Amino acid sequence: MTSRPAAKDRAARKASTPTRDWKSWIAWGVAVVAVLWILHTATQYFAMGVDRTTFMQHKVQSGFEPWAGWRIVLGVHVAAAITAMATGVVAFVLGIRKQRWPLHRLAGRTYAVAVVISAVAGLPLAFTATGGASATIGFLLLNGVWLATAAATYLLARRHDIARHRAWAVRSYAVTFANMTLHLLTALLTDPLDSRAAAYIVAVWLCWPVNLCAAEVALRAGARLNARSKKAVTQKRAASTGN
C-alpha cells in the first residue's frame, strides 16, 4: 500500500516537472551556444592567428598599428574571456551546484578570477577601440558592468544568499556573451545604418543591455513558473490531505 508521504512526493515532482523541463532546455541551449562560440573564438585567435581575424583586419584598415605589448594584452583578454565562458557552463548552466558543490565552487571562483583578468586586460584595449571616444566609453562601461555583476555574484555566495546569488550569476553570465552579441548586432545593423562603423558603435552600447534584458526575461519567467509549480504542489497536497 502506498504511503501518503510517498504519494505527496510524487505529486510534488509531477507538478514541478514543467519547470524543470523548461529550465533544462534553456540551460542546454545556452551550453551549446557557449561551446560553439568558445570553439569559434579559440580557432580564430589562437589556431588561425589574430592577424587573420575580422577584428584585426578592420583595426588595421582604420589605421591602427598593433604593437607587441598590445597583442599580448589582447591574447590575455580573449583567453580569460574564453575561460570565463567555459567555467560558466560548468558553474551556472549545467546545474552542477546541485550535485557536486566543490566542483561548482571551484568553477565559480575560476569564473570570477577570469572575469577580473579579462575585464582588466580590456581596459587598455578600450582606449584603442575602433570608433573613437564613443566606442571607448562603451567598452569601459561594458567592462565595469561585467566586473560589477561578477562581484555581486561572488559576494552573495559568500553571504550564503543563494537565491540572489543564482540570479546575479545568470546576469553576470549573460554579460559574458556580450562579445558574441556585439558581432551579431554589428552584422544585423550594418545594412540598415549603411555603415559598419556606425553599426559597430551602436552594437558596443547595446550588446550588454540586450543580454541583461534577456537574462531578466528568463529570470522572471522562471520565477512565475516556480510560483505556479509551488501553487500546484500546495493544491495537490491539500487535495490528498482532504482525501
- Position 1 in a domain: no
The alpha carbon of residue 204 and the mean position of all alpha carbons in its chain are separated, in whole angstroms, by 16
- Position 240 in a domain: no
Which run of H or E residues covers position 73? Answer: helix 68-88
Residues 25, 99: Cα–Cα separation, whole Å: 19
- Position 10 in a domain: no
Amino acid found at 136: T
3-state secondary structure of 130: coil
- Position 187 in a domain: yes
- Position 9 in a domain: no
- Position 237 in a domain: no
DSSP 53: S
Amino acid found at 144: G
- Position 236 in a domain: no
- Joined grid coordinates for residue 209: 543591455
Task: Tally the C-alpha atoms within 13 A of residue 203's C-alpha that lie toward its C-beta.
Answer: 25
Query: Is residue 107 within 8 Å of residue 90, measured between CB atoms?
Result: yes
Residues 51, 111: Cα–Cα separation, whole Å: 28
Domain containing residue 110: 15-229
- The pLDDT profile of the chain, 243 residues, written as one tens digit per residue, is 444 444 444 444 444 455 566 677 788 888 999 999 999 999 989 888 888 888 888 788 877 888 889 999 999 999 999 999 999 998 876 665 566 678 888 899 999 999 999 999 999 999 999 889 999 999 999 999 999 999 999 999 999 998 999 999 999 999 999 999 999 999 999 999 999 999 999 999 999 999 999 999 989 988 777 676 666 666 666 666 655
- 42 contact partners, CB below 8 Å, separation of at least 6: 82
Residues 20, 34: Cα–Cα separation, whole Å: 21
Q: What pTM does this model have?
A: 0.83
For the chain, how many structural domains are there in total? Answer: 1
- Position 74 in a domain: yes
Residues 171, 106: Cα–Cα separation, whole Å: 19
